[in-house]
Structure 1
Amino acid sequence: MGYECHICPLCAGPSAIYRCRECEGGELLCQNCMVSSHKQNGLHMIEYWTGHSFEFSSLKSLGLFFQLGHPFGVKCNYPKSPANNDFVVIHTNGIHEVSVKFCGCFDRNEPHVQLLRYGWFPATTHKPQTAASLAVLKQFQIHSFESKCSAMEFYQALSRLSDNIGTRPIRDRYRAFLVMIREYRHIKSLKRAGRGNDQRGIEGTKPGECAVLCPACPQPGRNLPADWKTRPAKEQWLYRLFLAMDANFRLKRRDNKITEDADPSLGDGWSYFVENEPYMEHIGSFGDQAQPKSTCSSHSAVNNSRLTDGLATSGVGSVGCARHDCMRPCSIGDLQKGERYANMDYLFLLSLNQKELQELIDLVVSYDIACQWWINLLKRMLNYSKAIQMDGGKLQSFTYLVPKFHLPAHITSCQTRYSFNFHQHVGRTDGESPERGWSHINPVALSTCEMGPGSRRDTINDHLGDWNWKKTHTMGTTLLRKIKTAVEESKEHTLLFHRYDLGLRSQKKMAKNVDKWELELIAWQQDSTQRNPFEVRVKTPTIDAVRRQLADEDKKAQEEGKAYVLHPTIGPSQLIAIGLELEVQQRRLYLDAESLGPHATEIQTNKLMKDGEDLSNQMNDWAEVQEKYIPSIISLRQDKIQPKKVTEPWEMSLFLPSSIPPPYLCNPRLQDVEWFLRSAQAHTALDELRRAIRLRSYLYIDKDRFARGQHANTRAQSTIQRTESKVKVATAKYRAARVAISSLAKFYTTSTWEKDFPELKDKDVRPLQAEPDVSKKGRRKKADPAEGHRKVSWIWGVVGDGTTVLENGELKDDLRVEWCKSHARAKRWQEEVLLLQEEMRRVLMFLESEAQTWKSRIGFSKEGMDKPTTEGLAAYAFHQSALRLELKSHFEDMWKEVDELVRQKGYKGKEKMEQANSVLETIVEEI
């Protein structure tokens, strides 16, 4: 730039000092050429050369104005129409102040129509002063879908694109931008739902009609065969609808005093949220009804209401598709005081209040508190409005299950009765689809929590619509991946089951047992109130029960004059039992001392010292009685068994029979007592360990879903750490019991203690599902395989190698349970293959049906509609029809080898499975 003469390449004139920052090439142009070349790009950013550097300029300052209402290059017949020099346009490259001339011809359109035809969305229909380009509105919508950025963040980014220094004043149009975004979203939703191509128009929109439907779910009239109702009974399960219910307490709304009247929804009840007025009337009538206490674990959704201070809405409840992660129409509602039955009942019943869905024969409902919620559902429904009631018999016939990840937090009986793994005709459904949906929508909560009620619902509706659409156009890849996995797993687990089953049947004594298990399994599958074959029935003895039994034996022996009693108040069984209790106290005191650390307070130190003194006194008293029963203890303590001086009570040896080394003698009666008590102690420790791990898993679920902020996270973490200490105590108790049993085992040569009490390694102390690792600051451990792939820790049921036989010759309980589970795994994977094939067929049929629906709208026209509007509607309908046909063709191409894959690769062991299935069918007929 070291010369003064600048030649414009367009006109060869002087004063070529302007350049555009967005046009390719960056040539210098004169003022006239810059304006002329930007008549169709009037929102570009330009600069001019001052002689020393480039500085910001604008096309408006160079004389460019926008003539609306006419094609490009056509002058207005009313040239005296005044220009609006203060018009603001929000575009993808910034916020611009431009000059606009509206058409003033006698047949002109309204100003807002002129703006829309130019591609600018007006902030108002009355004397608009602000508009946003359709490009920037679409860009924000997509950015908010993917990155969840707020409107404020996006608008501030546009402001910085316009002026990143802050020296040029930019007109604040943020509130106008919010209005335009909301209206744009609403109009696009109506357009995509075909409301512009429907005789009923916008006013005739029915509830849920703007929602994006799941193409893989059964929908009578859209994707089911014409004869689906008359198909054989054994095929009817393929037309089941799988629903999943859940609540989300992150989607709160603060009490900002904005009312429904001041901020209503633009399409109330037209998409995913239910219509607000009847919903609130229902909550007003039934929301305060008392809920029965939970008979399962202490689920907060049943027993407690969450804190609602400062909140207008504490979260949302929802009903979605359980297999394909889509949200259903009219299935979401605001929660006021936690997850009350009145809220969730309304959402569930209303989501089924469609004539097409009520035709469905069967339904599977997944809910994390299904074991409590469904019990009185029919009774509650009969009290509700007729508008949401349905056939009570059909409601009772539905299958209610608990999602797989939530199931470990339930009591043992629920873990089998409400398991997706054990119920037939559910495939590999996990019921956790709401959690995957919440992970997508939760980041939006940062902005929606401050919105008014209507704008919040409209925003969430828009995001859920995008989520459903993404699930739709990626369904080709998703279903293909799933069926490839299902075919391989079905093959493997079918062969594994037959290997296991034939191995048992090859033993004559076992064949009858297996037949009995089959009968029980079939009976339970037909009626879940029958005896559950998946439950362990052999109860392990508790230490309290064994203590009572031994005390009774001591009393009986004393009455018969055969008692081994050397103390007036403490018998041999009581002696050992007290010793075990002292051992537990030693362990607890040791953990307390370890937890104090170097900076313990004086109060904590004094308490530890007092507890230590109390324990020492108890141990001394017990030792005096012990010496009466085991005289060799006196010389044992005098000998140098403990070379170092013991100063802490938890370091002192109790010298129970299992820890008395030879040649010191101990009465066999005391060894027998400790053997029985230690066995019971090991079983009790495992029960405590399972309960503590299950509680810890539930606490992690609760923390991950709901704990936000330092205070809530600190409290949750403290509770988890207390539970973790219970896990450590139970682990140490089992290991101590096993060490004692191994020492006593030399006196019992026929014992199978190593199989009955396997070694408890650190890797065995794990839940049924993966959970965060506290030692790694919340990072998750590598997930254990799920039930369909799993190798669970032996602590959850299968003890040892599962082949130990009871003394009476019958197989242990765990062998029966494992046979049932192995059968269930094989069947679930087989069902998954069939379900996926059916879902693929439904997707293709749904897309074809939707394409034909849009095709039928091509000729739509209304009275008074002009030709350009009619042609535009026809073009849009044709485009939507072609889009769905293109998607169908794409899926067909992706899935063309699926049938061959299933036929050749899936069932090399199919003949064996068919034989087993024919046996089961024969048994069913006999029943």
Structure 2
Amino acid sequence: MHEWVKHIDLYLRYLITLEGRGKSPSSICLRCTAGNAAEFRCLCCDNTGMMCGACMVAAHHFLPLHRIQKWNGHFFAKVSLKSLGLRIQLGHTLGETCPRPETAWGDDFVILDMDGVHTLGVDYCGCGGSSLTQVEQLLERRLYPATTINPKSAATFRLLELFEILQYESKVSPYELFNTISRLTDNTGLGSVKDRYPSFLRMVHEWRHLKLLKRNQRGHDPIRGAAETEEGECAVLCPPCSHPGINMPDGWEDEPEETRHSYTRYIHALNLALDACFRLKRKDVSSEAADPGLSRGFSYFVKQGKFSEFLKKHEDEVEPKSTCSRHDAVNLADVTPGQGYAASGVATVECARHNMKRPSAVCDLQKGERYCNMDYILHWGIVVLALGILRTFFISYDIACQWSKHLIERIRKIDSKSPLLGAEAKTRFLVPKFHLPAHIAPCQTKFAFMLTPGAGLGDGEAPERGWGEANPLAPSTREMGPGTRRDTLDYNFGDYNWRKVVDLGSSLKKKMDTAVSRVAEHAIAHQELEATLDPVKVKEWTEKMVAWEKDPVNNANPFEMSVVTPTQVAVRKALADEEAAELAAGKDVSLTPDISPSVLISRGIDLESDQRALKADMKKIWTHSRDRELTRIQLRSNTLIRRVDAWYQSLQLYIPSTLLLRGKATGTKTIPPYDLPLWLPSQIGKQAPVERRLTEIEFQLRAAQAQEALTTLRRGLQRRITVHDLKKRWLRGQGPNTKALNLLATIETQIAVARDEYRQARVALLSLGKMLSKSGLESFYLPLEDGDIRAMVRPELDEPEGHQDPNDRTGATRRVSSWIWRHASAAEDNHTQYEAEAIKVEWAKSRARACRYQEEIRIVREEMNRTIRFFKWKENWWYQRAGARQAMEEVPADYDEGLRAYATRQGSLCLSLRKRFEHAWQGVDKQIAAAYAEIQDPNLFYEKRRILEVQEKERRLDEVSTSSDVEMASV
């Protein structure tokens, strides 16, 4: 751009020069011998120069929609080809003239094209040489008529194709495009442009419906017409998903009995995700009778008639309230959308692994996210493709914990033959990864993707990605009638699916690359963890894990803690109970009636907390702080000093040497109250003798303090994610955003406090561990670095702007999660019961992570195979349809040729896509073999990682060197 700025005057000169006739303009037309004046030029033709009117008409006999200008002696003015005598003859071969032409209505036929709104002279054939109707004569010239009787206007096929793609890509409305071509026609406001917006609206609607039918072989069907299209028949299917009879391997249904009823039989499972979007509302305009739509259940929306009848049976149902968290999807299910709205939003069922809309699996919401709506689309999303012989289903939903409780009974009322009710059907319900942290703790283990056998590296957030594409349609679709709105969303959903299909080569490859690149890391990490554990216990845990995977209902969840997390309050109560028992036995060890050993240590830990809080508040004070703030801080400092002095008096009764230690540490220096050492046993260490009982008390309290701090830290990170998402997606306006920012500031403070508390507790625990001869504490209480403080999902919110990993899109499974979510340990010696239980749970989670990555490899490899089989089937499907209509009935030769040409072209397209995908995936098997070789020989893995680290270091050095060279060059 800096280089271009130097040539601005040159570019500007040519733009202005072209407003005139150019260099050495000829006043005589050089294309004819009549010597007519050269007054006209075409803005669409390339290098034709100036011509006379007759030559301009002759040159544009086959280009009637070009834009012409006339030189009036002073400047170029717009003129039409019609004014020069050009007319369009229909019903005859191009170039032929009809001896008895019939002038179109009013001789002012309007054609909408990409270049503008053109008023032309159009003649129909009236000589009897053509048996075609007016509509057929227009269609033959690739002009789409606005009406079926006596059309007054038409649109070119290329304009309709442009709008179709433009709306899919940019969500442009017909109104916006019509205004665009109107301004191309005249942007001064002085001219008059024919208003054909209502006609254009109707034409684009019909055009997209015809393309929908054409792409799905409805014109090739020799038996059924367009009106007999079945539900979901025109949907774009997901090639990698399981489609019995289409892309499943031979004999897949004959799997052994011992694995048939296990959730581990995941390769041929159907992965579905449900969600609703409340931005796609519809105003209460028009009606089903006035606007029923064209695509009546043909694609993604359910058939409205049956759906309306189903809803009438559930009008009086009241949705159950949430017993998990305060989910709006549950608690606001009975809330109406508001005055003036007929639909509160749209609900959908999508392929959870490939983000594609399922056929007949989209519906309108009348109130909130009611169970009956979601049940209906789930049932039809499975039934419509005759998927009854599939046996395993993974179903993801934001509120699966609530919604799934009585789902089977509700589905049975819809259809007693539903595939979900089959004797061999196994269904596992999950909660999407981003939504999972908002659930209570039991849900986070029961419904987690990462902890569910067979789920691979799925995340269940497919619908959320789809809403991102559909939401820009909300402003235009909410003003539409019911049928037009459903059709418009159907067409856009179809294009969304098609783009996903075209991108399968790279998307499945990326999934495979992710799984292969990390599988060895997680598998080896699990092997190393198991190597530090008791083999007998590992065997016992493995047996329980396998039993739970086969039957999660009747077996204990290995990921749930059976031991309550220790808290400081619980530990203090236990210590108080011990002292009460000692008093009852006549063994009082207290040196003062006011303070017992446990109370002494507890007060010291409380003082530490007050010191941290005062230090944090002191950092907020600056030179120009108000007197009120300074006074408040000073009073707190004075109070803390008096409390510390009182603490010293009690402490020296139990540890007399602290009097000498205080003198050596402080001397004559003035120390801020928040930095005064408290001389707890952990701070004394081996500087002076300390009674073992006091050391043990502090160890118990510090262990509980560390666990509490981690719990608070995790909760704060989860809350921060939730508030960030709420603010980004739903909050608009200064007031709500200010409240959200204040809440985020409060959460950040809580996270910082928990961080500092854990770090201080860890230092104390390691010191006390040495005093008590405890081993393995360093590997259990890991150091908490700033980089470890990140959420379980959506890590980009926890990283500085510009430092996010572009390949890390789905959260915890795409990278090793922070240890605060795993809390691993490498040994069991001298651990409490809680710590031993934490080790068992971490072992289970480590095993789950290793298994999920290996599952993902198998799943994606089979998805690649299914994709290849799908396109082979579809290729043959098109080839078989090429002559199907001619075999059943007599069709004109030109129609038959068109049928064969289109079917052959579609078959060729399927072949090309298949070849393209095969080429993209040709090295996959070698990748998989190399990854498993690293698992078998970890030395290969570590050597590979070392090489990658060296390469990364060299790359960064090159970047620094290059940037330095650029800076020097600029200087």
1:353 to 383, 386, 405: 383
Letter in 1 for 2:761: A
Q: Deviations over 1:682-741 (max 9, x none)?
A: 211111111221222233344444445555544444433332222122222223333444
Q: Tell me how far apart the structure 1 counterparts of residues 25 and 507 of structure 2 sit (CA, whole Å).
A: 63
- How far, CA to CA, are the matches of 2:184 and 2:416 in structure 1? 53
Is 1:875 equivalent to 2:897 in the alignment? no
TM-score normalised according to structure 2 size: 0.83
- Residue 563 to residue 899, structure 1, CA distance change in 2 (3 Å): closer
Q: Which residue of 1 aligns with 2:161?
A: 138
| Aligned counterpart in structure 2 of residue 252 of structure 1, from 280, 289, 295 | 280
C-alpha distance in 1, partners of 2:546/2:840?
A: 14
What is residue 120 of structure 1 aligned with on the other side?
A: 143
For residues 610 and 243 of structure 2, the distance between their equivalents in structure 1, rounded to whole angstroms, comes to 63
Alignment equivalent of 2:484, drawn from 428, 436, 455: 455
Residue 887 of structure 1: aligned partner: 913
Q: How many Å apart are 1:378 and its aligned residue?
A: 1.6
Match status 1:544 vs 2:562? no
Q: Distance in 1 between matches of 2:479 and 2:354?
A: 31
Instruction: Tell me the distance in 2 between the aligned counterparts of 1:79 and 1:885.
Output: 47
Choose which of 73, 96, 100 in structure 1 pairs with 2:118. Answer: 96
Conserved 8 A contact 1:251-1:449: no
1:67–1:103 Cα contact (<8 Å) kept? yes
1:518-917 equivalences under 5 Å are 518-529=542-553, 530-565=555-590, 568=593, 570-581=595-606, 583-585=608-610, 587-588=612-613, 620=642, 624=646, 627-628=649-650, 630=652, 641=666, 670-708=694-732, 710=734, 712-741=736-765, 747-750=771-774, 753-773=777-797, 783=808, 787-788=812-813, 790-799=815-824, 802-806=826-830, 812-857=836-881, 858-860=883-885, 866-896=892-922, 898-899=924-925, 902=928, 905=930, 907-908=932-933
Quick check: 2:879–2:907 contact (8 Å CA) kept in 1?
yes
Give deviations 1:775-797, integer Å, cap 9, x for gaps: 96899677599555633322223
| Aligned residue identity for 2:116 | G
Q: 1:455: Cα distance to partner?
A: 2.2
SS in 1 for 2:534: helix
The alpha-carbon distance between structure 1 residues 427 and 579, as it changes in their structure 2 partners (threshold 3 A), is closer
Cα separation, partners in 2 of 1:790 and 1:155, compared to 1, 3 Å: same
Between the aligned partners of 2:102 and 2:535, the Cα distance in structure 1 is 101
Q: CA deviation at 1:122?
A: 1.9
Q: Are the aligned partners of 1:76 and 1:105 in contact in 2 as well (CA < 8 Å)?
A: yes
Q: Which whole-Å CA distance do the structure 2 matches of 1:334 and 1:715 have between them?
A: 33
Q: Which residue of structure 2 lines up, in the alignment, with residue 924 of structure 1?
A: none
Q: CA deviation at 1:407?
A: 3.1
340 and 94 in structure 1: CA distance in 2 versus 1, 3 angstrom threshold: same
* DSSP-derived class of the 1:98 partner: strand
Structure 1 residue 520, shift from structure 2 partner: 1.5
Query: Is the Cα–Cα contact under 8 Å of residues 803 and 812 in structure 1 kept in the other structure?
Result: no
Q: State the distance in 2 between where 1:77 and 1:241 align.
A: 68
Q: 8 Å contact 1:251–1:448 — kept in the other structure?
A: no
Instruction: Give 1:157 shift.
Output: 2.6
Farther-moved stretch of structure 1 (687-696 vs 308-317): 308-317
Aligned-partner residue type, residue 244 of structure 1: L
**8 Å CA contact retained: 1:120, 1:131:** yes
Query: Structure 1 residues 626 and 158 mapped into 2: Cα distance closer, same or farther (>3 Å)?
Result: same
2:280, 2:344 within 8 Å by CA — same for their partners in 1? yes
Query: Which is further off, 326-335 or 5-14?
Result: 5-14
Q: Is the 8 A contact 1:208 1:271 kept in 2?
A: yes
Report the CA distance shift for 1:713/1:876 in structure 2 as closer, same or farther (over 3 A).
farther
Mean alpha-carbon deviation: is it higher for 49-58 or for 550-559?
A: 49-58
**1:14 has 2:42 as partner:** no
Distance 1:750 1:518, change over 3 A: closer
CA distance in 2, matches of 1:775, 1:840: 34
Q: In the aligned structure 2, how far is the partner of 1:615 from the partner of 1:341?
A: 57
Aligned residue for 2:449?
A: 420
Does residue 313 in structure 1 map to residue 337 in structure 2?
no
Partner of residue 33, structure 1: 55
Write out aligned runs for 1:475-514 (5 A).
Answer: 475-490=504-519, 493-494=522-523, 497=526, 501=530, 503=531, 510-514=534-538
Q: Which amino acid aligns with 2:505?
A: G
Alpha-carbon spacing, 1:286–1:709, altered in 2? closer, same or farther (3 Å): farther
CA distance in 1, matches of 2:301, 2:172: 22
* Cα deviation code 1:619-640 (max 9, x no counterpart): 8578657634535689999999
Shift of 1:42: 0.6
Give the corresponding residue for 1:185.
Answer: 208
Q: 1:163 to 1:722 in 2, by over 3 A?
A: same
**Correspondence 1:174-323 to 2 at 5 A:** 174-198=197-221, 199-233=223-257, 237=265, 240-249=268-277, 251-255=279-283, 257-286=285-314, 289-305=317-333, 308-309=337-338, 311-323=341-353
The 3 A distance-change label for structure 1 pair 162 and 82 is: closer
Structure 1: tracts of 5 or more residues without a match: 914-927
Residues 409-447 of structure 1 deviation map (CA, whole Å, 9 limit, x = unaligned): 333433333233333333333333223323333333343
Instruction: Report the residue type matching 1:856 in the other structure.
Output: Q
Aligned to 2:951: none
**Following the alignment from structure 1 to structure 2, what is the Cα–Cα distance between the partners of residues 687 and 27?**
78
Checking the alignment, whether the CA contact within 8 Å between 1:240 and 1:363 is kept in structure 2 is no
Equivalent residues of 2:155, 2:200 under 8 A apart: yes
Corresponding residue number in structure 2 for 1:63 = 85
Tell me by how many angstroms 1:111 deviates. Answer: 2.5
Instruction: Tell me, yes or no, if structure 1 residue 153 matches structure 2 residue 182.
Output: no
Q: Could you list the per-position Cα deviations for residues 106-144 of structure 1 after superposition, in whole angstroms to 9, with x for gaps in the alignment? A: 565332332222211122223322221110110111122
> 1:925: which partner in 2?
none
Contact 2:336 / 2:366 at 8 angstroms: preserved in 1?
no
Contact 1:193/1:209 (8 A) holds in 2: yes
2:67 corresponds to: 45
Task: Give the equivalent residue in structure 1 for 2:368.
Answer: 338
Task: State whether residues 445 and 451 of structure 2, in contact with CA within 8 Å, keep that contact through their aligned partners in structure 1.
Answer: yes
Report the counterpart of residue 410 of structure 2 in structure 1: 380
Report the CA distance shift for 1:73/1:137 in structure 2 as closer, same or farther (over 3 A). same
Query: By how many angstroms is 1:164 displaced?
Result: 3.1
> What is the CA distance between 1:660 and its match in structure 2?
7.2
Alpha-carbon distance in 2 for matches of 1:414, 1:102: 71
- For residues 58-96 of structure 1, the C-alpha deviation after alignment (integer angstroms, 9 at most, x for no partner) is 212211121222221222242354664322211111222
Rounded to whole Å, the distance in 1 between the matches of 2:869 and 2:900 is: 23
- Structure 1 position 365 matched with structure 2 position 395: yes
- Please state whether the residue corresponding to 1:194 is helix, strand or coil: coil
Which residue identity is paired with 2:472? Answer: P
| Structure 1 residue 551, shift from structure 2 partner | 0.8
**Partners of 2:593 and 2:927 in 1: how far apart?**
78
The amino acid across from 2:820 in the alignment is: I
- Contact 1:770/1:781 (<8 A) preserved: no
Aligned residue pair count? 901
Q: Secondary structure at the match of 1:212?
A: coil
CA contact (8 A) 1:111 1:127 kept: yes
Q: For 1:773 and 1:912, how far apart are their aligned partners in 2?
A: 36
- Structure 2: runs of 5 or more not aligned: 1-20, 939-971
In structure 2, C-alpha distance between the alignment counterparts of 1:882 and 1:775, rounded to whole Å: 47
- TM-score, length-normalised on structure 1? 0.87
Cα gap change, 1:480 to 1:620, in 2 (>3 Å): closer
Letter paired with 2:303: E
- Aligned equivalent of 2:497: 468
Asked if the contact 1:88–1:95 (Cα under 8 Å) also holds between the matched residues in 2, the reply is yes
